[in-house]
Amino acid sequence: MQTVAFWILLLLFVGAFAAQVARRVQLVAAAPNTFSLDRLGFRTSRFLLDVVLQRRTIRERPLAGLMHAFVFWGFVAFAGYTLVEFLYGLGLVDLTHARWFHAYRIALTPFATLVLLGIVYLLIRRVFVRPPGLGPKLSLESVVIGLFIATLMITFLLTFQLVEGTLAAHINWWVHALVILVFMALIPSSKHLHLVLSPITVFLKSPELGNLANLDFEKEQVGLETVKDLGSKSVLDAFTCVECGRCQVNCPAWGAGKELNPKTIILQTQDALLAGERERKLGEVYSEKVLWQCTTCGACENQCPVGIEHLPILIGSRRGLVSNGDAPDYLGAMYNNLERRSNIWGLGYDQRTKFVQSAALETFDPAKHDVLVWLGCAGSFDADFQKSLRALFGILLARKVKFGVLSKERCTGDPAKRTGNEYMYQELAKANIADLEAAGPKKILTSCPHCVKTIGDDYKKFGYQVEIVHSSVYIEELTRDLVRGAKADPLQSAKASAERSNGHETVTFHDPCYLGRYAGKVDEPRALLTRFGATITEPERNRDNPFCCGAGGGLLFADKEEEPGSRISDVRFKQLQATGANTVVTACPFCSIMLKGAQASAQADTQFVDLMTFVKDRL
């Protein structure tokens, strides 16, 4: 009788589970295929760290992350127990009296205790602490699931107390089994589907932050216009969101009070897919205004513990808007400059030539030069940033590095690519690649982190491979021998050297998103600063999770960021000011422009120094 009842219930609940999963599988299968399995070694090690060891979950929020990890590890450990109990309940085979199973049950008791501890902590946090990322409304579903998990652990622990064959033991067994069945039926329609999907999405997540495949114009690809254009990875991502809000609280746009919330973008995608709104325009699903508020800083994608990629959705939707002529006016002017003059400022190339001549720069020749210096739009035309480049040239000359520049450069195409003007980006990229291939450098050096990303990652998609390094990384290596005992551990020695030196200067360093987060270069700028006598005081949000300056994603060109909220650059400037340091060191031309603008608005007397100028002045 018990067996028959269990068979019926199992079929009912498994049926409910399968029907809901099938609907989601169908939606993923119907989407254009964007799954990729390149760099399998990297993906496997990331899987082990982020899924098995829960690195990302624990690193960002150590206590809550550890409690979540206890629950996850408990789930994995209990899989075999559940299977054996279900086989017994179905009358198929009784392994519950095997000696190994007895040992296994005993081994599970510490897991059960830790899961119980973890789930009670997470329930208290959700119901009483209510962190902002979880949203203003208490999720009843999360509370129910939390209570289910607690019940499973309590009923398991009770099996050691209750005598087998008694009514109490029977009731306990049924409560445990029923909770599992109901839980299973609830999973697909809840955020707990991440239990099943997140190992897959983490494995499938691109190894490259902000990875955007080139559009193929011959196949008439124009970007994402409607819900049905979303790629298969984006569709899978939409069903995996655990609604933790990490992307939200780390988003500079949300932090500055804008309407953009990356968590909402993912949940809106999920709703539109489940509602079958295949033909609905993405500009309506998310609102066009919101799509233009993204700086492409990558914080959302980088912080997400379940491998969700926001940028293919955000920039993909921008591509769709641009192809329909729906870009904001301020971008129209920038595109015009790129089209007519191949640089974002729309200035004549004679100005770059004048700079190249006044700095006595040679045209790159692979037989003569070690490295090609890429000036970038800022270096070619912005008088302020040219001072930084002159400092870089001074350091290179002092260290006897032979370098040259291209006789002509165009913008790498970064602002066009991140704002969705793929056609313009590809025109610029192909022309630059032709020039670079003709020049033949083995190594490129630049002071612009955006150029590092575009030439280093995006140009690879056209088959062009070159080593490109940011000046902070190159000069850090080049000046290591200036530190006594540097050979043992250059970064540590730099710190020790600075501590020995007198006349410390306290500075704060603003990590550019495209250097700290995208390229992961956070130690080298700091090593340079300490090596040349600075004491660093860190701002809120630093290293590989900086708060954006507000320039990326074309927002450098916006007259003023869309209301409501504050300017992102003002928020960042206040964070830098709060360190108490009177000097802010920057390492990106666009961060420098934005933060100086914020300083002017705040009428503060903070000094801004570019990293290369800082080093050159103290060399």
Q: Give 206 or 613: the residue with its C-beta nearer to ligand SF4.
A: 206
Q: Which of 188, 223, 262, 516 binds ligand SF4 (CB under 6 A)?
A: 262
Q: Which of 552, 539, 544, 545 is nearest to 591 (CA)?
A: 552
Query: What is the distance between the alpha carbons of residues 199 and 592, in angstroms, rounded to a whole number?
Result: 40
> What burial class does residue 99 get, using C-beta atoms within 10 Å of its C-beta: 0-12 exposed, 13-18 middle, 19+ buried?
exposed
CB of 199 to ligand SF4, least distance (A): 14
Inter-axis angle of helices 262-274 and 2-30, nearest 10? 110
Q: How far is the CB of 297 from ligand SF4 (least distance, A)?
A: 4
Q: Where are the alpha helices (DSSP H) in 534-588?
A: 568-577
Residues 280-339 that bind ligand SF4 (CB under 6 A): 294-300, 303-304, 306, 308, 310
Binding mask 216-255 for ligand SF4 (x = CB under 6 A): -------------------------xxxxxxx--xxxx--
Q: C-beta of 296: minimal distance to ligand SF4 in Å?
A: 5
Q: Which stretch, 142-150, 256-264, 370-378, 517-525, contacts ligand SF4 (CB under 6 A)?
A: 256-264
Nearer to ligand SF4, 251 or 327 (CB): 251
| Residue 591 touching ligand SF4 (CB under 6 A) | no
Residue 16 or 51: the one with the smaller Cβ distance to ligand SF4 is 51
Three-state secondary structure string covering 274-308: HCCCCCCEHHHHHCHHHHCCCCCCCHHHHHCCCCC
- 439 Cβ contact partners less than 8 Å away, ≥ 6 residues apart: 364, 366, 372, 406
In the complex, minimum distance from the CB of residue 31 to ligand SF4, in angstroms, rounded to a whole number:
18
Q: How many CB atoms lie within 10 A of CB 2?
A: 11
CB of 155 to ligand SF4, least distance (A): 30
Query: Smallest gap, in angstroms, from Cβ of residue 311 to ligand SF4?
Result: 6
Q: Between 568-577 and 589-602, two packed helices, what is the crossing angle to 10 degrees? A: 80
Work out the number of other CB atoms within 10 angstroms of the CB of residue 139.
16
Helix (H/G/I), strand (E/B), else coil: 529: helix
Give, as ranges, the residues between 111 and 170 that touch ligand SF4 (CB under 6 A): none
Q: How far is the CB of 252 from ligand SF4 (least distance, A)?
A: 5
The three-state secondary structure class of 614 is helix
Provide the minimum distance between the beta carbon of 546 and ligand SF4 in the complex, in angstroms, as a whole number: 11
Spatial separation of the C-alpha atoms in residues 494 and 534, rounded to whole Å: 10
Considering the complex, state which of residue 16 and residue 513 has its C-beta at the smaller distance from ligand SF4.
513
Q: Which is nearer to ligand SF4, 243 or 511 (CB)?
A: 243
259 versus 523: smaller Cβ distance to ligand SF4: 259
Q: Are strands 607-610 and 583-586 parallel, antiparallel or unpaired?
A: parallel
Contact footprint for ligand SF4 (CB under 6 A): 241-247, 250-253, 260, 262-263, 266, 294-300, 303-304, 306, 308, 310
